[in-house]
Structures are given as C-alpha cells and as structure tokens.
C-alpha cells in the first residue's frame, strides 16, 4: 500500500465484523475479498492484451502484467482497472487490427470487473466512520435563519449543495469559498434589516376584484379589432384584392391582409361566444386566449412590508360539461419573472349555484409578489398547442371550465408578527444600563445562534466594538446591531456544526447531539425543549432520547426531513428533468406533476405517522392521494386537496412505489418510457443491488438509425454487444415488467411510437411484460413483478438503512458501516420494519452519538 489513506485502517475492522456476520449467509456483505478480480481473468490479459501492455512494452504506460488483481490496493490500481473497463466498453481496446475478444469472454470479464469496480469505489470512498465537520447546507441555513429571525432569507444566489454529493448533508463535500462567505454576510444583513424593521403593512384589509370589469372591455376591444381587420379585408377584396392597393386598406401588403383575415377566423368565434354568454356580464369565464395566455384573476400585489397570512376567496362555478381537469382553480404567485404554483382546488359549485372557495396563503416578509387565480396549466407551450387542437374539434378553443363571479384578497385580522424582533430586542429591566442592555442583546443572540454553546469571549468583545463603532457613526441602535449580528450569522460557530474534541472520548456533548438530531429530523436547529434536555444531560437516557425522536417526527418540521431525504434517496430530481409535451400528454399537466411528487413524500409521511411497515412502500392496497391524482388514476370518491389514504379499487395497478406516476415519469425522457432507467432505478433503490454506472463513451448503435422499434426491441439491440449485455441482462427485464406504464404513468396494453418529421406516423406494439430476474425469479405481468419486489423487503430495508446512515450522520455510507447497518435492520425487523424503527435504531446507536 502506497499511502496511508483512511481506508487502510478498515481491514482491521473487517475481521471483527466477519465473525458476527457468518450467521446470515444470505445478506450481501462487503468484505476484503470482494473487490478482487478472479485470477482466471489473467488468461484474457495473456490472450489479448499483454503483447502491448506487459512490463516490457508498457504501451500507454499500462502494465497489465504487474497490475494487482486486488482493485483496492491503492487509487492508482483502481484507476488502471477503471481504464481497462472503459476502454473495453468503448470498443477502443483491443485495437481494430488486433484479435477481438470473443463475446462470451468479454461478457464474463466485464461483468466481474464492473461489479468489482462498484465495490472498490465504495471501499475506497470509505471515510472510516469519520464525520467531517459539517457546514449547514443551503436548506438548513435558510431554515436556521428563519428560526432565529422569523424572516426567511432569500438564498437563491447561494450554491445549491445538492449537486456535489449523494446527500446534501455530507460534510466532506460541503465546501466554502470566499464568494460564498461574502454572500453569507450580505444575506444575513439583508434579512436582519427586514427582521429588525419589518415595516407596517399598507395592504387594504379586503380587496374584491370583479373580473368582468377587466375582461369584458378587453374582449370587446379585441372583437372590434378582429372585426375591423376582416371588414377591411373584404373591402379590399371587393376592389380586386391586389397587392398594390392593400396599403389603402391599412395593410403592409397582400400577405398581411390575408394573415389578418385568418386571425379573424381563428379567434373571433371564441371572443364572440364569450361576449354573447350571459354569465360574462357579471363575471369572467376562464377562457384561454392564444395571444394573451389565459384569463386569470390577478389580485393586488403584496409588497415587502406586507408579510403575513391572507385568504384568497373566489366565488366560482363550473360549466356542466367541463371535463375533470377543467374543474380546478390553480393558485400561483409571480415574483419578478418567475411563477410559482401554490396549489389547486376542485370546484363543486355550478354556474347556477356557485360556491365560495377559500385558499390560505402566507406572504413572506421581504417578498414582493402578485397572486393569481386561473385554470390548470401545462409547462412550456402546451396550453397554446392544445388550444389549436380543441379549436379544430369544437370551433372555438379550449373549454372554459369555470366561471368566476369575483375574487378577493383578505388580510387576516389576527396577524401574529412574523419577525422575532421582540425576542431579539427583549424587554430591558430597569436595573440594566443601556450599554449593558445592548451587549446583552448581542450576547443572547449569539447564544441562540450558536445553538446553546457559549460564544468565545474575545469574539463577543469584538462584536461589541463593532456595535459601538456603528453608534459612533451616528447609527440608531437597531441599525448598529445589524453588522455585529450578521457577523455572528457568518461565523464558523454558526455556519458549521462544531463538534468539539474537548469532551471525554468520542461521545458528543448533549448540545452537539441535540443539533445532530434536529438537523437530521427537522433540517433546523434544536428547539428550547431539546436544548434544555441536552443541557440537563438527559439525552444520554435512551428512553428520553426515544421520546424526543417521536416528538420530532410528530412535529410539522419533520416534513423537511421527509422531503429532502426522500427526494435525494429516490433520485427524484429526474421528475423535473424532462418537459412533457402537452399535445402528447394533455392530462399530464403541472397539477399532476406537482401532485405526483407530493404523493411520494406523503406516502412516506403517512407510513411514518401510521407506523406502517416499509413493505407498504413496495406493495399496498391503498394509495395516498389528493383529488388531482384521484382523477388521474380514475379512483372515485376522493374529494378535497388533502392527501389521504384511499383504498385501491379492484383491478387497479396502483399501490406501492412501482405504481406511482412519479416513478413511471422519472423512468422516461418525456416522450417514451425507458426500461433501462426504470430497471436501474428499481435495482438501485428498491432491491439495493445497484448496477455499475453507465459507462461513458459507449459507441452509438448506428445500425438502427431511421427505423421504428418498440422499447423492447431497442433494448434487445443493446444486448447484442457484449459490453452492454453483461449489465443489461440484469437491468432490462425489470424495465420491461413496467412497460405497462407509459411515460406519463398511464396504464397501457399497447405501446404507441410516433415517428416521422412531424411525429404523425404512429406504430403500435403490444406490451410484453413477462421476464425473468437474473436470479431466476420469473414473472408474467407487472403484478407478479411487484410481488417479487415486495418479497424482498430485506434488501429494500438495507438500502433505506444505508441512505439513512449517510444522510443522518453526514458522511458517505461505507464499508465500515456494514455492522451498524446490519444492527439497524435487525432492530427494525423486530418492529415489523416500521420506518420509525429504523430511525430510532440509528439514533440509539453509538456511532450516531459519537464524533
């Protein structure tokens, strides 16, 4: 071994572990022997490689004759093997003029090598259980500042920490740069200004909008405009319709005259229909117009000093013939150029009997935004494209769906002040002099910001000096506080979860444990109850600790954990990676996509809350959905926007992650389903048997260009090449088993593939889901496949455990964690794999409570 990296020390530990592990032969445990290429593969080197890459020739400085077959000998060895893997994968080795490796030899060699590389990487990246000093990531930073100041900071300019590691809680990968440090100072000072002087809202208590006052004149003008265009065109045509005299009729040329007549035919029928409709005399139909987007009810803008709770109230009724999707109101807010969707409400009122719908909003301090109410939207140009299709069908355009009588924005009377200014500037006792008070303000704030640790006296002294300097420059006390307090919020004691070596042994102090726990389950600092117990030394009592974990999980802040953890654990960023065409998937709009994402979070939340077994995530006879998804899944009787558990009807494929829209859509490219992505996702996240990463630079299959294939045929073609076959044999069958879901998660028996320049050629392929896993388990349908996966809850449990260890302790799961993971799984299995049991077992473990 060349360098004493941390993984060097692991092998000592391995011997200890292997004893306790021999009892469970089925469990896949990494051991020292794992990242070793079987000696027999040297034959392949001898046969095909050594002529150029022996110790004498060393072409390209590659010497395979002396290469250690133990991949983890050192980084160089692993890298040389990686080069061997990549160059055979890409077809670069052996060179064209040399004997090619036979397919069978290649497949066997590559299978062993790629799997060993996965193990090697995991062993080499092991931190040996060491947890690196961890900086608050962007989410935690924002939550922490909000907790301290009551005002949520704007953090979009700070780096998004999710890009550089598997989880954004991993200390070693959370960096700091000088730019970032300046941004911390800036952000803190901006947010402190808002918190210390939040301003008085000047928003009207209630403002009602009568939409007909805006839209009737607007559409009247549009109608007249269109009519005028048409009349001029007809007059021009009556004179012979020649290019030269088109100017007399107000056109640039004949082409423009024609275009304007065309726009009359396109848009006039809808506008006329609108103006004729009696209900638009005292309200507005949510009509979609191709030029101006959609008819939306814009509420008065709220400014930086208007922070607080508001209710949007809308009196609204649905048209009788409106399809499901058109019966919803969508609520959004616009901040600068960006639109953010806030939620959806299904309308049960009708045109004759409208109802009043209420929608609560929290307007943050410091934000300027305009809130709007409109119909459900698609991304990109989906709505406009669909309008054209509808017009072709019904002569006017997209169905209006809803009619709005009025909408109002109501600033709720009982406003709790958001800013914590009163806590920061606590009431001064008479015995305290003013200078003493000012120092105490800084001191107490520092203590809170440092999560209960005592700030360094020298540091405090300098902070007081900064305050005094501000005062000397003539600043008011509140103004002079901003600098010292923003320095506290940019200091290492605040930005990092400092775990001191000063205590005894490796154990965390009570406060340190409290912080680790609350950032794990809340992504926020510990509250006063947790800190009080920590200071009293109570957290070392395992019963107290267990109660606290239960309390933290029951608190709404645990949503931070569920969302951040599940999003990263299940790779859910893929859900937003591709745009879905509105034309191809008219029902898969923003509401469905947003709800699909929330369905996964809510399913996990419900499982934690109800003490359900982990297995219910794999297979269940209920789903956790809202009304939007109930419509999409075709499940009746779900009213209201809250997510709740609903019995799955007979014959529905839903229930368990595999049947969710989210998982189907993540395994697609926005057009077609991708059996490879889906298969790899199942192996990675459900079966805990991750395939090697897709090799870079594999040659494209040019043979297939210009032909139309089913997804299955495409995959078969991939398997023709030996370098592909070795992994895809394992991945693809699972993906085929899920082929009954199209890219948007809809059930199908037939795959439709569109091709041709305009996408107007449609070929049909019947879905053939039957297949076999590499271990021999075979299935005939999606349902069988789901059963097979659900039987393997042990593997799923191990995957969850590894992810929890990484996320919760802030370091990559490594080789040396095998025993810990095993203990957690066996603890949880005693509690029927309740999700909270995994969390309890991790928190109770010695590693979680140690540095």
Q: How far apart are CA 821 and CA 827, in angstroms?
A: 10
Question: 667: Cβ–Cβ under 8 A, 6 or more apart, which residues?
Answer: 574, 673, 674, 675, 677, 678, 681, 735, 738
466 binds another protein (CB under 8 A): yes
Please identify, among the stretches 119-127, 218-226, 364-372, 431-439, the one whose residues bind another protein according to the rule CB under 8 A: 119-127
- The residue among 243 and 380 lying less far from another protein, judged by its C-beta, is 380
Q: How far is the CB of 84 from another protein (least distance, A)?
A: 13
Please identify, among the stretches 124-132, 205-213, 427-435, 549-557, the one whose residues bind another protein according to the rule CB under 8 A: 124-132
Q: How far is the CB of 482 from another protein (least distance, A)?
A: 12
Q: How far apart are CA 227 and CA 249, in angstroms?
A: 14
Q: How far is the CB of 652 from another protein (least distance, A)?
A: 30
Interface map 352-381 toward another protein (x if CB under 8 A): ----------------------------xx
Contact indicator for 372, 332 with CB cutoff of 8 Å: yes
483 binds another protein (CB under 8 A): yes
Please identify, among the stretches 34-42, 164-172, 255-263, 764-772, the one whose residues bind another protein according to the rule CB under 8 A: 164-172
Among residue numbers 209 through 268, which ones bind another protein (CB under 8 A)? none
| Residue 651, both tokens | 């014959």
Q: How far is the CB of 466 from another protein (least distance, A)?
A: 6
Among residue numbers 742 through 801, which ones bind another protein (CB under 8 A)? 755-757, 759
Q: Contact with another protein (CB under 8 A): which of 34, 115, 126, 146?
A: 126
- The residue among 272 and 342 lying less far from another protein, judged by its C-beta, is 342
- The residue among 395 and 492 lying less far from another protein, judged by its C-beta, is 492
What is the size of the binding site for another protein (CB under 8 A)? 83
Q: How far apart are CA 614 and CA 837, in angstroms?
A: 10
Please identify, among the stretches 162-170, 281-289, 532-540, 839-847, the one whose residues bind another protein according to the rule CB under 8 A: 162-170
Closest CA to 5 of 74, 70, 67, 68: 74
Q: Contact with another protein (CB under 8 A): which of 532, 671, 777, 831?
A: 671
> How many beta carbons lie within 10 A of that of residue 706, not counting itself?
6
**CB burial of residue 65 (10 Å; 0-12, 13-18, 19+):** middle
Whether residue 94 is preceded by a cis peptide bond, meaning omega within 30 degrees of 0, is: yes
Closest CA to 577 of 665, 679, 680, 693: 665
Please identify, among the stretches 128-136, 141-149, 199-207, 229-237, the one whose residues bind another protein according to the rule CB under 8 A: 128-136
- The residue among 42 and 709 lying less far from another protein, judged by its C-beta, is 709
- The residue among 395 and 576 lying less far from another protein, judged by its C-beta, is 576
Closest CA to 137 of 154, 160, 156, 164: 160
Name the CA radius of gyration of the chain, rounded: 32
Q: How far is the CB of 631 from another protein (least distance, A)?
A: 25
> How many beta carbons lie within 10 A of that of residue 105, not counting itself?
16
Among residue numbers 179 through 218, which ones bind another protein (CB under 8 A)? 179-183, 185
Identify the three-state secondary structure at position 397: coil
Q: How far apart are CA 595 and CA 584, in angstroms?
A: 19
Q: How far apart are CA 195 and CA 189, in angstroms?
A: 10
DSSP H or E stretch at residue 107: helix 103-124
Q: Contact with another protein (CB under 8 A): which of 176, 335, 388, 536?
A: 176
**581-to-127, 294, 391, 677, 744 alpha-carbon distances in Å:** 44, 18, 18, 20, 10
Closest CA to 248 of 239, 1, 837, 450: 239
Q: How far apart are CA 235 and CA 229, in angstroms?
A: 10
Please identify, among the stretches 175-183, 239-247, 271-279, 342-350, the one whose residues bind another protein according to the rule CB under 8 A: 175-183
Q: How far is the CB of 754 from another protein (least distance, A)?
A: 9
Query: How many CA atoms are closer than 13 Å to the CA of 640, on its beta-carbon side?
Result: 6
Contact indicator for 614, 797 with CB cutoff of 8 Å: yes
Q: Contact with another protein (CB under 8 A): which of 50, 155, 172, 831?
A: 172
Q: How far apart are CA 130 and CA 7, in angstroms?
A: 11
Q: How far apart are CA 163 and CA 183, in angstroms?
A: 19
Q: How far apart are CA 249 and CA 187, in angstroms?
A: 59
Please identify, among the stretches 127-135, 563-571, 633-641, 643-651, the one whose residues bind another protein according to the rule CB under 8 A: 127-135
Among residue numbers 609 through 628, which ones bind another protein (CB under 8 A)? none
H helices of 611-694, where?
627-633, 661-666, 675-681
Q: How far apart are CA 403 and CA 277, in angstroms?
A: 11
Q: How far is the CB of 365 from another protein (least distance, A)?
A: 24
Q: Contact with another protein (CB under 8 A): which of 102, 693, 778, 780?
A: 693
Q: How far is the CB of 173 from another protein (least distance, A)?
A: 5
Contact indicator for 648, 728 with CB cutoff of 8 Å: no
Q: Contact with another protein (CB under 8 A): which of 812, 819, 825, 848?
A: 812
Q: How far is the CB of 834 from another protein (least distance, A)?
A: 30
Q: Taking each helix axis as running N to C, give the angle between helix 510-521 and helix 542-554, from 0 to 180 degrees, rounded to the nearest 10.
A: 30
694 binds another protein (CB under 8 A): yes
- The residue among 376 and 654 lying less far from another protein, judged by its C-beta, is 376
Among residue numbers 289 through 328, which ones bind another protein (CB under 8 A)? none
Q: How far is the CB of 757 from another protein (least distance, A)?
A: 7
Q: How far is the CB of 171 from another protein (least distance, A)?
A: 7
Q: Contact with another protein (CB under 8 A): which of 142, 170, 628, 803?
A: 170
Q: How far is the CB of 379 from another protein (least distance, A)?
A: 8
Among residue numbers 710 through 729, which ones bind another protein (CB under 8 A)? none
Interface map 42-81 toward another protein (x if CB under 8 A): ---------------------------------x------
- The residue among 432 and 577 lying less far from another protein, judged by its C-beta, is 577
- The residue among 35 and 630 lying less far from another protein, judged by its C-beta, is 35
Question: 63: Cβ–Cβ under 8 A, 6 or more apart, which residues?
Answer: 53, 54, 55
| Residue 92, both tokens | 């670069």
Closest CA to 287 of 355, 379, 377, 374: 374
Q: How far is the CB of 706 from another protein (least distance, A)?
A: 8
Please identify, among the stretches 169-177, 513-521, 640-648, 840-848, the one whose residues bind another protein according to the rule CB under 8 A: 169-177
Among residue numbers 543 through 602, which ones bind another protein (CB under 8 A)? 576-579
Among residue numbers 484 through 513, which ones bind another protein (CB under 8 A)? 484, 487, 490-493, 495-496, 498-502
Interface map 814-833 toward another protein (x if CB under 8 A): x-------------------
Identify the three-state secondary structure at position 163: helix
Q: How far apart are CA 170 and CA 162, in angstroms?
A: 10
Q: How far is the CB of 744 from another protein (least distance, A)?
A: 15
Question: 612: Cβ–Cβ under 8 A, 6 or more apart, which residues?
Answer: 606, 834, 835
Query: How many CA atoms are closer than 13 Å to the CA of 844, on its beta-carbon side?
Result: 17
Among residue numbers 7 through 46, which ones bind another protein (CB under 8 A)? 7
Q: How far apart are CA 508 and CA 514, in angstroms?
A: 9
Q: How far is the CB of 384 from another protein (least distance, A)?
A: 9
């Amino acid at each position: 071994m060349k360098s004493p990296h941390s993984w060097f020390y692991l092998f000592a530990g391995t011997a200890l572990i292997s004893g306790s592990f021999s009892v469970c032969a089925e469990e896949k445990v990494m051991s020292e022997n794992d990242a070793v290429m079987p000696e027999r593969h040297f034959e392949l080197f001898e046969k095909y490689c050594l002529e150029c890459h022996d110790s004498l020739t060393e072409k390209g400085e590659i010497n395979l004759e002396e290469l250690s077959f133990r991949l983890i000998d050192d980084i160089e060895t692993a890298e040389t093997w990686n080069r061997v893997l990549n160059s055979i994968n890409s077809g670069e080795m052996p060179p064209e003029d040399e004997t090619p490796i036979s397919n069978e030899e290649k497949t066997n060699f590559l299978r062993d090598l790629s799997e060993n590389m996965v193990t090697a990487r995991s062993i080499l990246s092991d931190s040996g259980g060491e947890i690196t000093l961890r900086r608050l990531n962007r989410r935690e930073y924002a939550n922490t500042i909000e907790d301290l100041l009551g005002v949520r900071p704007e953090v979009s300019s700070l780096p998004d920490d999710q890009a550089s590691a598997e989880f954004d809680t991993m200390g070693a990968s959370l960096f700091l740069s000088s730019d970032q440090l300046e941004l911390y100072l800036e952000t803190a000072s901006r947010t402190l200004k808002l918190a210390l002087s939040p301003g008085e809202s000047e928003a009207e208590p209630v403002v009602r909008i009568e939409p007909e006052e805006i839209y009737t004149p607007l559409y009247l003008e549009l109608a007249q405009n269109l009519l005028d265009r048409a009349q001029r065109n007809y007059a021009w045509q009556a004179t012979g319709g020649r290019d030269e005299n088109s100017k007399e009729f107000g056109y640039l040329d004949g082409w423009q005259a024609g275009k304007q007549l065309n726009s009359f035919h396109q848009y006039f029928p809808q506008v006329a229909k609108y103006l004729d409709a009696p209900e638009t005399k005292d309200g507005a139909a949510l009509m979609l117009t191709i030029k101006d987007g959609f008819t939306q009810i814009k509420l008065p803008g709220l400014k930086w000093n208007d922070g607080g709770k508001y209710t949007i109230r809308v009196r609204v009724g649905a048209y009788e013939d409106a399809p499901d999707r058109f019966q919803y109101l969508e609520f959004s807010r616009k901040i600068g150029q960006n639109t953010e969707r806030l939620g959806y409400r299904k309308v049960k009122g009708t045109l004759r009997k409208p109802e009043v719908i209420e929608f609560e909003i929290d307007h943050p301090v410091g934000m300027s935004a305009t809130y709007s109410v409109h119909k459900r939207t698609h991304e990109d140009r989906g709505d406009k494209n669909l309008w054209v299709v509808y017009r072709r069908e019904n002569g006017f355009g997209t169905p209006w769906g809803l009619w709005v009588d009025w909408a109002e924005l109501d600033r709720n009377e009982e406003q709790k002040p958001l800013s914590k200014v009163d806590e920061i500037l606590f009431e001064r006792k008479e015995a305290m002099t003013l200078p003493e008070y000012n120092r105490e303000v800084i001191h107490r704030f520092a203590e809170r910001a440092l999560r209960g640790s005592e700030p360094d006296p020298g540091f405090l002294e300098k902070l007081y000096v900064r305050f005094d300097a501000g005062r000397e420059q003539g600043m008011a006390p509140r103004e002079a506080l901003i600098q010292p307090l923003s320095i506290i919020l940019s200091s290492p004691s605040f930005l990092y979860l400092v775990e001191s070596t000063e205590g005894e042994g490796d154990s965390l102090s009570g406060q340190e444990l409290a912080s680790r726990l609350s950032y794990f389950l809340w992504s926020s600092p510990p509250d006063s109850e947790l800190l009080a117990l920590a200071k009293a030394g109570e957290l070392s009592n395992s019963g107290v600790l267990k109660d606290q974990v239960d309390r933290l999980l029951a608190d709404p802040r645990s949503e931070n954990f569920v969302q951040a953890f599940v999003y990263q654990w299940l790779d859910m960023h893929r859900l937003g990676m591709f745009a879905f065409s509105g034309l191809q998937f008219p029902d898969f709009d923003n509401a469905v996509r947003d709800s699909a994402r929330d369905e996964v979070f809510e399913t996990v939340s419900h499982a934690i809350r109800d003490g359900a077994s982990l297995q219910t995530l794999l297979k269940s006879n209920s789903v956790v959905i809202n009304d939007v998804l109930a419509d999409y899944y075709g499940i009746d009787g779900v009213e209201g926007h809250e997510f709740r558990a609903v019995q799955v009807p007979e014959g529905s494929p839903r229930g368990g992650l595999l049947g969710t829209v989210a998982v189907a859509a993540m395994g697609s490219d926005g057009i077609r389903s991708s059996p490879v992505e889906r298969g790899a996702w199942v192996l990675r996240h459900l079966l805990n048997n991750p395939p090697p990463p897709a090799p870079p630079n594999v040659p494209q299959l040019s043979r297939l260009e210009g032909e139309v294939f089913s997804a299955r045929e495409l995959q078969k073609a991939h398997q023709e090449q030996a370098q592909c076959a070795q992994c895809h044999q394992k991945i693809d069958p699972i993906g085929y088993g899920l082929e009954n879901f199209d890219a948007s998660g809809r059930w199908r028996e037939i795959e439709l593939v569109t091709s041709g320049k305009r996408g107007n050629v449609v070929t049909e392929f019947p879905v053939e889901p039957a297949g076999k896993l590499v271990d021999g388990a075979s299935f005939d349908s999606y349902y069988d496949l789901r059963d097979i996966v659900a039987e393997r809850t042990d593997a799923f449990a191990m995957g969850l455990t590894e992810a929890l260890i990484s996320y919760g302790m802030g370091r990559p799961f490594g080789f040396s964690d095998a025993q810990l993971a095993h203990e957690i799984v066996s603890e949880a299995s005693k509690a029927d794999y309740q999700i909270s049991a995994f969390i309890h077992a991790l928190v109770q473990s010695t590693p979680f409570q140690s540095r």
